[in-house]
Structure 1
Amino acid sequence: MAWFIKLERGIVDKPTFDQFVPAHVAYVKELVAKGHQAKTGYWKERGGGMLLFQASSLDEAKAIVQADPLIQNGCVSYELHEWCVVVE
């Protein structure tokens, strides 16, 4: 499986964003359980973050991102990139 990165920037106020964080965390835990090796976090200075995960194709990666509660509820804008690992 290939690695993908969703780089995101918050586009709503913090109270709105925070109400969807528990659903996002549960969603990422579900990805981990399904073998996508997902990791999520935010930038220390706030205002954005990243989701790192594995998927079998770009189409699957797009579907994974679209199912994220932060995307579904319009909390973030994002870029999706396939990450080519050079050294493991």
Structure 2
Amino acid sequence: MNYYAALLPMKDEEKSKTYRPDHLAYLEEMEEQGKVFAKGRFTDGAGGLVIYQADSLEEAEVLVKADPYVEKGARNYEVHEWTMVLVGDKPQS
């Protein structure tokens, strides 16, 4: 299982407000399935970030595209594989 950072920059604030309950319900469902590691909004209103757990970039993109924010055009998205390094860990080569 790998980690994938999904950046969700704001595209349409009104749609974002409208679909927020659907987005949060979707993320809750993904959490229950063990697909979400972390999530949160940017405090400046620029959007948010979700760290997904998936077997591949393709699987992560499927998860992101199924988010109501993305489906309904409230947010754009960008997905990158992410290597987590905790403070005190030595980076892997």
Q: Distance in 2 between matches of 1:54 and 1:35?
A: 7
> Runs of 5+ in structure 2 lacking a partner?
none
RMSD, matched Cα: 1.4
Q: Distance in 2 between matches of 1:16 and 1:36?
A: 25
Q: Distance in 2 between matches of 1:86 and 1:64?
A: 23
Spell out, residue by residue over 1:13-46, the C-alpha distance to the aligned partner (whole angstroms, 9 max, x if none). x332111000000000111111113432111111
> Runs of 5+ in structure 1 lacking a partner?
none
Q: Distance in 1 between matches of 2:21 and 2:38?
A: 15
TM-score, normalised with respect to structure 1: 0.89
Q: Distance in 2 between matches of 1:23 and 1:35?
A: 18
* Correspondence for 1:84: 83
Spell out, residue by residue over 1:38-85, the C-alpha distance to the aligned partner (whole angstroms, 9 max, x if none). 432111111211111101111110110110000000111121010012
Give runs of ≥4 in structure 1 deviating > 6 Å: none
* Correspondence for 2:25: 26
Q: Distance in 2 between matches of 1:50 and 1:2?
A: 16
* Correspondence for 2:60: 61
TM-score, normalised with respect to structure 2: 0.84
Tell me the amino acid that sits aligned with residue 55 of structure 2: S
